[in-house]
Amino acid sequence: MVNSYYKLPLDTLRIVKNKEIDSCDLKQSIVSFIHLITTSYFGECTFDESFGCSIWNVDFDNLTSTNKLRNTITESLIDSIVSQEKRLKRVNVEVTIEQEEFTNRGASNRIKKRVDIKVNGIISRTNEDFTCIERFYIAPLSF
């Protein structure tokens, strides 16, 4: 049974030099993989066009209603996590979108949409509860 997983981002230089690389536990590995899903756009990974989520598709969408954006992101994340992260079962995703104002020194203020994502599920191997929280700003995407 595997008890440690490679920590993201991978240190490829250490791999090439045949040195040991950083590892993490199962929960942190799942958190990192979900982060990788949420920060990847569909088609970015040429070996699997379905890897990623739709956050990138709505990144500059200022015309769509908040409810529609929330539903689009939620459905996309559930589909992606269920199909890609096999170590989780009973996946539930809650997305909230709020506007936040940023004050610039001497310049006009900017308003960005903040996307809070909460992923709940059960770790298949241990039947432990799992929770992961991600926070992004869209238009443009940053985390």
Q: What is the mean pLDDT of residues 56-79?
A: 82
Q: What are the tens digits of pLDDT across the range 24-55? A: 999 999 999 999 999 998 888 888 888 999 88
pTM: 0.83
> What is the per-residue pLDDT for 60?
66
Query: Is the per-residue pLDDT at 78 higher than 50?
Result: yes
Where do the domains of the chain lie, and which CATH numbers do they carry? 5-12+23-138 (3.10.450.40)
Task: Choose between 142 and 79: higher pLDDT.
Answer: 79
Q: Write the DSSP assignment of 40-65 as a string of letters.
A: -BTTSSTT-TT-SBGGGGGTT--SS-
Q: How far apart are CA 121 and CA 119, in angstroms?
A: 7
